[in-house]
Chain A
């Protein structure tokens, strides 16, 4: 049940926001998406100045959404292992910010990580038969004790303030669900007007890949409830803070 929403915060980067947004239509969708996401109590950052700008926004979001744990107890971050995130060097960035990167952030090192479903997946020892259950268990518990989850998205919807997350071997269900805060990176070109527009993109994906992902989650702001006297409250199960960074990298 849901009571009235409280607004989150929109953070506009100072550098030439509007100029970089290009054509009118795209600009309108980006603004509408941000406004609606913020109205759902989400946080939003605009970072259209390239890799460095996005990295700066991630640092800002991590600082704003995740409280310090206290001395000797580093904050933990878990992220998707998609190639899309590789150019941002999240492990480097987040380690320098004092975070402990628990899994899914180790794309480099030649093993290819979990890889993309289209790429040939390289089995790691932990994923070898027999070890799978234990490895899954361990990853799950690490995600559950993380403070921040970082993902990208497949598309976003302007008029509802929604992001779409497709599950895959490199894009787990848990980084957007278990940590206290979740931040998703959204490219301006991924923002469509309506839910039916987004579902058409899912239909395209289905046509190209010959089927749907095992799980697709549409997320519109942080976990919410109104079950105690109709009072609006966030974070009863899912993330307490949900952020989007609209950026190009």
Chain B
């Protein structure tokens, strides 16, 4: 069964136009992506074990997918053996129902969240808010865009597009709403201190903490959580209930596998050798312990993942959400994450969005949001063949619009002609003859049939009076056969 993703915020042409007309966002995204890409390059260069571990990590991830059902069973047994609860969720509604059941049983009103792509994928916040719960994102960037009611512009830097002035204004509004002292200026330490005060109150008052998970270790039933700010530790240490919503693809078999994987996300994501905080959580608080949650729930999210196993797209499930492909993508660097209309942006978003949400969900992404430069393939630490997948998805999508016989025959004929030099040159001569009727001021402004699709949105330079081949032959007789 395919999964369900949140609908796009607006049609693609509108999203694209809005992004291109926002110089502040574009400058911020350009700066962020450049810094992160450089950080990654220098991190691997300065840390030789990183590359050796990366190669083994790829094998570990692929092998986990090959045994995923057995590993999930082992994981479940081990989490339960430590007093945790495990539930499998097919899609968004299952997770919402499960979390709301817990909230009702506990009489919970307030939820704090640590940044998680899985919960964004299923629009969990909206589900919980619709049921009357108060949900607070606690990653600083996510907090900012939650206050602004926007979507992330970058997987690792959700509020990269926001200026400090805009952030100060959001915080002032929030201070007025909650009746606290607003930040005194727009300096980073002052804004950070305001967020610390506000979010600390939220952590201490929360009834439920919800996180995602970077990895799951089957052999011990352990959840691995990586953050830099410490909000992951807060969310898993303070509220009496911790619920982790994690894609089934995050499972690995052993700690030996995790040992080579653990540093890949920070190395490839931010260029750190390790994140500031890495938490290994095995069940809830034990008897005698003075802190930590009473209840630990692990929600294993499918949402279209299982269906990708065994297909040509399987390796896309090895993604560790590091964002390295975003940082090198010329399209992403130009339009930023919001224009993708999906919670997954950049090259991985172009692939994951239609694969998880169904091929009809965002057909414009493989069709329009890739320049086929292959930079993402080189950047991906898990060696996911993103350009190949994008091309396959593009082909699938284009083939749908190639139903009429005339269209198929035209492309068939075109392909045959251009498969040989003689055919190619013959079409050039033919086009030179035919184009006269469509020329305006030395440009082709319209064209007949299928080619009209090209000239509908742009002019085309005409075929030259003399092609290079013709010129060459005239200058050096006999050199071309």
Contacts and interface: CB of A to CB of B under 8 A. Distances in A.
Report if A and B associate in a common complex: yes
Given A2-B270, A141-B204, A219 B236 contact: no
A213 B222 CA distance: 10
A199 interface: yes
Contact of A1 (B141, B220, B280, B286): B141
A169 B290 contact: yes
A105 B292 CA distance: 19
Interface stretch (B8-16, B223-231, B245-253, B374-382): B223-231
A162 interface: yes
Contacts of B233: 173, 177, 217, 237-238
Interface in B16-53: 28, 31-32, 35, 47, 49, 53
A190 interface: no
Given A177-B233, A215-B292, A237-B196, A227 B140 contact: yes
Interface stretch (A47-55, A58-66, A92-100, A228-236): A228-236
B188 A216 contact: no
B272 interface: yes
Interface string B127-144: 000000000001111001
A222 B279 contact: no
Interface string B318-330: 0000000000000
Nearest to A135: B290
A231 B275 CA distance: 17
A96 to B, nearest CB: 26
Interface string B273-310: 11111111111111011111000000000000000000
A233 B255 contact: no
A148 B27 CA distance: 40
Contacts of A237: 138, 196, 199-200, 203, 229-231, 233-234
B157 interface: yes
B260 interface: yes
Contact of A174 (B35, B231, B278, B291): B291
A242 to B, nearest CB: 9
A56 interface: no
A144 B276 contact: no
A168 B290 CA distance: 8
B33 to A, nearest CB: 11
Given A2-B272, A194-B49, A236-B196, A214 B140 contact: no
Given A194-B49, A236-B192, A216 B280 contact: yes
Interface string A146-189: 00000000000101101000011100111001000000000000
A172 B191 contact: no
Contacts of A194: 49
A224 B228 contact: yes
B163 interface: yes
Chain B interface size range: 35 or more
Chain A interface size range: 35 or more
A114 B291 CA distance: 12
B288 A169 contact: yes
Given A199-B255, A230-B31, A121 B288 contact: yes
B280 A114 contact: no
A140 B204 CA distance: 9
Contacts of A169: 286, 288-290
A36 to B, nearest CB: 8
A220 B274 contact: yes
Contacts of A140: 204, 238, 291
Contacts of B288: 114, 117, 121, 169
B334 interface: no
A61 B167 CA distance: 34
B189 interface: yes
B259 interface: yes
A211 interface: yes
A82 to B, nearest CB: 12
A131 interface: no
A162 B255 contact: no
B229 A238 contact: yes
B260 to A, nearest CB: 7
Contacts of A217: 233, 277-280
Given A167-B292, A212-B282, A223-B230, A144 B258 contact: no
Nearest to B158: A227
A226 interface: yes
Contact of A219 (B189, B277, B281, B286): B277
Contacts of B167: 228
A214 B291 contact: no
25 contacts: A1-B156, A1-B157, A117-B288, A140-B291, A159-B47, A159-B273, A169-B288, A173-B292, A194-B49, A211-B82, A217-B279, A218-B279, A224-B276, A226-B157, A227-B139, A228-B159, A230-B28, A230-B160, A233-B192, A236-B229, A236-B230, A237-B138, A237-B196, A237-B230, A238-B229
Interface of A: 1-3, 40, 104, 114, 117, 121, 136, 139-141, 143-144, 157, 159-160, 162, 167-169, 172-174, 177, 194-196, 199-200, 202-203, 206, 211-231, 233, 235-239
Interface of B: 28, 31-32, 35, 47, 49, 53, 82, 138-141, 144, 154, 156-160, 162-164, 167, 188-189, 191-193, 195-196, 199-200, 203-204, 220, 222, 228-231, 233-234, 236-238, 255, 258-260, 262-263, 270-286, 288-292
Those 4 A-B pairs whose CB atoms lie nearest each other, nearest first: A238-B230, A169-B288, A227-B141, A237-B230
